Amino acid sequence: MHKQLLSWLTPCKALYLALLTLPIGAQAETLMLQQPAISKTQIAFVYAGDIYVADRQGKNPQRLTSHPAIEQAPHFSPDGKTIAFTAGYDGNDDVYLIDSNGGQPRRLTWHPSSDRVVGWDPQGKSVMFMSPREMASGRSGHLYQVNTDAGFPEKVMQALAFEGEFNDNGKLLAYRPYRTAHIGASGWRNHRGGSTPPIWIMDLAKNSYIEVPHENASDTNPMWIGDDLYFLSDRDKTKNLYRYANGNINQVTQFKDWDIASADAYATDIIYAQGSALFVLDTQQAKTQKLSIDIKPDLPQIRPQFKDAMQAITSSQLSSTGKRVLISGRGEVFTVPVKDGSTRNITGTSGVSERDALWSPKGDQIAYISDHGGTQKLLLAEQSGKQLNTFSFGDYPADFTLLHWTADAKNIVYSDSNLVMWVINLDSSKRQKIDQQQNMLGFNSALSFDGDWLAYTKSGNNYLWDLYVYQFSSKKTLRLTDGLSHNDWPAFSRDGKYLYFASSTNAGPSSFGLDLSTQERPQRFGLYAVVLQADGKSPLLPKSGDESPEKLAANKTDKKDDTKSAEPAPIVKIDAKGIAQRIVALPVPKRFYSDLAVADDGHLYFLENTQAGASIEPNGRALDTADLLRFNAEDKKVETVLNTVESFSLSADGKQALLGFAKNTFKVSEVAKKFEPEDLNTNDVKALIDPKQEWAQIFAEAWRNERDYFYDPNIHGLDWTAIYQQYLPLLSHVGSREDLNWLMVQMIAEMEVGHNRIYGGDVHTETPIQVGLLGADIRLKKGQYVVDKIYTGGSWNPFITAPLGAPGVGIQQGDRIIAVNGVTLRKGDNFHQFFVNTVGKQISLTVSKDGSNKNAKEVVVEPIANESTLRNWDWIESNRKKVDELSDGKIGYVYLPNTASGGFTYFNRMFFAQIDKRAMIIDERRNGGGQAANYITDVLSREYLAGWKYRSGDMTLSTPAAAIYGPKVMIIDQDAGSGGDFLPYSFKRMGLGKLIGKTTWGGLIGISANRSLIDGGGQTVPHFRFFTPDHEWRVENEGVAPDIDVELDPTRVNKGEDAQLQKAVSEVLEQLKTFKPVRHDTAPAFPTKLGN
């Protein structure tokens, strides 16, 4: 199998290099054409982020837009004269118009939320777009219409919608209510969990709808041709075109290889993109024409150019004496001078990933990993970059990471993606397995200064890490700790007498980070020293004041001799017998420590990190910097060296320190009583990148990452090599980094699993021009802008700002805003246009109760950049109050936005404040996941154990005090996934109550093991998967089904009703009728006899 997996490299690379030599215009046709649109005389499509038009046969293509930002979603007006599209100019997706024969784009929307064009009204007077601008929660949006003469967008309906199209008379709206699982960065073909949207046909005038006959598949892209509705569906395992007419469904196309990605209709013709080419179907004649389109564009993104490699840095290391810093970044290896000299790129190979660079002990050589040829190898080179030797990691597929180069220069330690740590001898090229980790947390390790010992940590079956040492000369391993503590960050002393490490005895509750119960659990580490020799002494013994024999001998021979070489490090001897009794606790407070290292001065340096849950900063996040501390070996005291650093390491001689700070900046300081860091100049850490070569490497590495990290080595039986070969020919047609992401997402989508994503990288980024928001619903009524609703947020949260909701602002709901900064608003204006570049700046609003100038007044406010949190809390509070009202105060309500820190915070705030309720509704709709929410189910499942009564006071206490013992239900939907799948699964399995709503997303495969892509792009490979106590793979691509299926009925949503919430209340009230309370509100009668 291993040889088969490796056999693709040579032929595939040769094929790609042959394709690479062809300029795009020199190929027979151009592929990677997306998002086609069609009119009477033209077609439009997107290539490399620009919009093109051509005639109906695909001839005479012309580029319509050329801005570096992404332009997408073109749609012809009914008369074909104008194209509406979405563009990311100024850092935000907004709606624009352009003449179909060319011209200057004209902007229609200014709201800072994303606005994506979905079509036109039948008369061509307005453009319809989807936007989440007024969403209180969730992953969908609403449909809006904006007049082609600009003006204020109006919401089509309150019901959620992701895309839609009106029929010819504008009475019926065919639409998709929510997104699919295969979208954007997420590659997931043939999803069969809860996110399989139907097509609904809404009669807006009657507020009624019907559903197009639907299977457990994704139906998208509705298009009207007369009274017939066409749409795309993957119900036969490949996305094909279907027709709905007279109540019946007919499959129109029969593709089995490539999905139809998107389609558009005009009159009786449908244009669609399939296999990255375009086709036109005549629905009357049932004939299909493939359009052979040849474009010769100028593509700025493929021009070779220098790139700042510090933006994609992967490792850094000081040279042995601290004169240079070795930096791996953007697939290149650089040496950067601390003072004298110039920056060198010692690899200079665009399209090859070189990384994990290590200095040799003397600093005269460099080791690094290279994937030249498609296989990772270990290379040795001189400082200048001249290659000296190449070593193989073996003939098995894996991803490798260099860890250490031993002080005797004989060995290099590395690990692989199979969790194995190895050592390779540089003289014999032989590899020796050291140990294998139990989970994907990797190894923390350190070398002795004589080069013969490796100290490392390894997880036990109890999730706690033990400390081990491995001797290279004997190939033997010794375990130093007993499994009753969590041990980390080993560091040898330079005299070879001690092994320092950090250890925690309270880390058990936080040892498995997947569990939500680990949130805000402080880990307190003490610092310890292992006395390595049986006759060794504690480092804490009191000073005798006598001259030591070693020092007297040194004084006798200490002659100034600048030519004398450095003394070799003392030989390290470790006596196994009784070593557990030779562990000494250092007198330091127990806190959250990391990155231990011993400097040349003999002192122990380490970082003190902020404890989990200790603080929330003004940006709304926990503090993520650390302080550099020193344990003074002489005074036996802890000293603060520097504050707010992010990383710390020492040169091999221990005399220089490399300090990392925010935004990938570094400073270097001599190790001294007082550190005086100086900036490391990284301005010349730049790589000359040929994008086409780099994109080939990224494409191959994305494929390899799936091979090396996917939880099932057999990839569910998929021929992964064949998939690579299927998608590889399209690579030569890629014209932008964004298109490369799209191509890779389609490739990994063939695996048909969740959490499989590719995103980011060196894509074009616009400098954002922020548009301010007022935290309010603004409506256009009778030609004036009315403050329809003001969002106040939670006054308990200092990080939520409500511009109009603060006391003393002087604006009320119903007021008219008639001017902004003195500029009068008129009916045809777009309200948000007047708030460009106003975020955080004081502006004046002229407001009036009746809209007249006579009663107008001016108020000063500061607009905010985002009001989604305000809307979310308003929705939550509205639901809580509604539940309280409908249940007459009997039922509490808790909303969970995710199962990470946000969900933890929301649950703690809302649940414990309502433990006086008799029952509880847990709402996890649109839950974004995160961790396995065992903490929540643990709290919800608490049993009544005891009551307590004080002498005075009416309140009877209980143990556990914080519990709801009455009925509970959970509301779920198709947008709740990952941890939002596990929560209802566990809620149901534990018998806590009924699930109400719709089947959840269905994604229970975990991520976060593989490395990033060469240019900083992200990839999440699913590397561990959930199975049930019944020993079954479940939930993934299935979801968790409700006990009571309740659709979020759009007609009721349009009336302001929430059918799922209302059903939850009625169900709990019904259960309360027969529920017998288990908690006693009163104590028993006081005893009347002694001894009772």
Q: How many CA atoms lie within 13 A of 499 on its CB side?
A: 32
The stretch 430-458 carries a mean pLDDT of 94
pLDDT in tens, 767-777: 999 999 999 99
**d(Cα 518, Cα 521) in Å, to the nearest integer?**
5
pLDDT in tens, 348-397: 999 999 999 999 999 999 999 999 999 999 999 999 999 999 999 999 99
Where is 1051: in which H helix or E strand?
A: helix 1050-1054
Taken in order 553, 554, 560, 566, is the CA torsion positive or negative?
positive
**DSSP tag of 726:** H
**pLDDT value of residue 1081:** 87
Beta bridge partners of 503: 487, 526
The stretch 876-899 carries a mean pLDDT of 98
- From 770, 708, 686, select the one nearest 327 (Cα to Cα): 686
What top-level class would CATH report for the domain 776-864? mainly beta
Q: Residue 612's pLDDT band (boundaries 50, 70, 90)?
A: confident
Contact 412, 424 (CB under 8 A): yes
Backbone angles phi, psi at 826, to 5 degrees: -125, 165
**pLDDT value of residue 16:** 46
Q: Residue 282's pLDDT band (boundaries 50, 70, 90)?
A: very high
| Residue 9 confidence (pLDDT) above 60 | no
| Residue 613 confidence (pLDDT) above 90 | no
Residue 1073: which residues within 8 A CB-CB, separation 6 or more? none
| Residue 740 confidence (pLDDT) above 80 | yes
The stretch 926-951 carries a mean pLDDT of 95
Burial of 1043 (0-12, 13-18, 19+ CB in 10 A): middle
Angle at 926 between CA 920 and CA 931, to 5 degrees: 80
The residue type of 194 is G
**d(Cα 127, Cα 108) in Å, to the nearest integer?**
9
Q: Residue 76's pLDDT band (boundaries 50, 70, 90)?
A: very high
Contact 847, 815 (CB under 8 A): yes
Same fold, 31-299 and 869-1003+1039-1072: no
Q: What share of the chain is helix, strand, coil (3-state, %, to 5)?
A: 15, 35, 50
> What angle, 0 to 180 degrees and rounded to 10, lies between the N-to-C axes of helices 720-727 and 691-709?
160
pLDDT in tens, 229-247: 999 999 999 999 999 999 9
Q: Residue 902's pLDDT band (boundaries 50, 70, 90)?
A: very high
The residue type of 595 is D
User: Is 1036 annotated in the active site?
Assistant: yes
Beta bridge partners of 584: 529
Q: Is 1078 helix (H, G, I), strand (E, B) or coil?
A: coil
pLDDT in tens, 700-713: 999 999 999 999 99
| Residue 695 confidence (pLDDT) above 50 | yes
pLDDT in tens, 308-360: 999 999 999 999 999 999 999 999 999 999 999 999 999 999 999 999 999 99
Whole-structure pTM value: 0.94
Residue 561: which residues within 8 A CB-CB, separation 6 or more? none
| Residue 546 confidence (pLDDT) above 70 | no
The string of DSSP codes covering 869-917 is: HHHHHHHHHHHHHHHHHHTTT-EEEEE-S-BSHHHHHHHHHHHGGGTTS
Q: How many CA atoms lie within 13 A of 328 on its CB side?
A: 21
**pLDDT value of residue 442:** 82
Q: Residue 446's pLDDT band (boundaries 50, 70, 90)?
A: very high
The stretch 98-108 carries a mean pLDDT of 97
The stretch 522-537 carries a mean pLDDT of 96
The stretch 1058-1075 carries a mean pLDDT of 98
Contact 275, 733 (CB under 8 A): no
The stretch 573-601 carries a mean pLDDT of 96
Beta bridge partners of 892: 920
| Residue found by looking up tokens 């039922």 in the block | 891
**DSSP tag of 930:** B
- From 49, 42, 106, 46, select the one nearest 76 (Cα to Cα): 42
| Residue 549 confidence (pLDDT) above 70 | no
The stretch 401-418 carries a mean pLDDT of 97
Question: What is the third-level CATH fold of 869-1003+1039-1072?
Answer: 2-enoyl-CoA Hydratase; Chain A, domain 1 (3.90.226)
User: Is 755 annotated in the active site?
Assistant: yes
**pLDDT value of residue 568:** 85
Exactly one of 978, 1023, 1038, 1067 is catalytic; name it. Answer: 978
Exactly one of 163, 752, 867, 1036 is catalytic; name it. Answer: 1036
| Residue 554 confidence (pLDDT) above 80 | no
Contact 1009, 953 (CB under 8 A): no
Exactly one of 755, 887, 1023, 1038 is catalytic; name it. Answer: 755
Give buried/exposed letters for 601-621 (b at 16+ CB in 10 A, else e).
bebbbbbbbbbeeeeeeeeee
| Residue 586 confidence (pLDDT) above 60 | yes
**pLDDT value of residue 927:** 96
Contact 343, 336 (CB under 8 A): yes
Backbone angles phi, psi at 304, to 5 degrees: -60, 135
Say whether the peptide bond before residue 960 is cis (omega within 30 degrees of 0): yes
Tokens (6 digits) for 1032: 């079954």
The stretch 898-915 carries a mean pLDDT of 95
**pLDDT value of residue 1013:** 98
CATH of 31-299, one of 3.40.50.1100, 3.40.50.300, 2.120.10.60, 2.40.30.10: 2.120.10.60
Beta bridge partners of 395: none
| Residue 616 confidence (pLDDT) above 90 | no
Q: In which region does residue 210 sit, left (phi positive, over 0), alpha (psi from -120 to 50) or beta (all else)?
A: beta
**d(Cα 273, Cα 33) in Å, to the nearest integer?**
7
| Residue 3 confidence (pLDDT) above 80 | no
Q: Is 861 helix (H, G, I), strand (E, B) or coil?
A: strand
**DSSP tag of 1011:** P
Please report, for residues 436, 448, 478, 842, the alpha-carbon distance to residue 433 in angstroms, rounded to integers and kept in the order given. Answer: 8, 19, 15, 64
What top-level class would CATH report for the domain 309-437? mainly beta
List the chain domain ranges: 31-299, 309-437, 688-759, 776-864, 869-1003+1039-1072
Taken in order 1025, 1029, 1032, 1036, is the CA torsion positive or negative?
negative
Burial of 741 (0-12, 13-18, 19+ CB in 10 A): buried
Roughly how many angstroms between the first and final C-alpha of the chain, as a whole number?
75
Beta bridge partners of 365: 382
Q: Residue 195's pLDDT band (boundaries 50, 70, 90)?
A: very high
Taken in order 911, 917, 921, 923, is the CA torsion positive or negative?
negative
The stretch 928-940 carries a mean pLDDT of 96
| Residue 579 confidence (pLDDT) above 70 | yes
**pLDDT value of residue 550:** 56
User: Is 114 annotated in the active site?
Assistant: no
**pLDDT value of residue 558:** 52
**d(Cα 277, Cα 232) in Å, to the nearest integer?**
17
pLDDT in tens, 790-831: 999 766 777 788 999 988 999 999 999 999 999 999 888 999
- From 944, 923, 717, select the one nearest 137 (Cα to Cα): 923
**d(Cα 367, Cα 405) in Å, to the nearest integer?**
8
**d(Cα 574, Cα 567) in Å, to the nearest integer?**
21
The stretch 60-84 carries a mean pLDDT of 98
Taken in order 431, 436, 440, 446, is the CA torsion positive or negative?
negative
Longest CA–CA separation in the chain, Å: 106
The residue type of 536 is G
**d(Cα 330, Cα 307) in Å, to the nearest integer?**
8
**pLDDT value of residue 181:** 96
Which CATH number is associated with domain 688-759?
3.30.750.44
**d(Cα 968, Cα 976) in Å, to the nearest integer?**
19
| Residue found by looking up tokens 């209510």 in the block | 177
| Residue 206 confidence (pLDDT) above 80 | yes
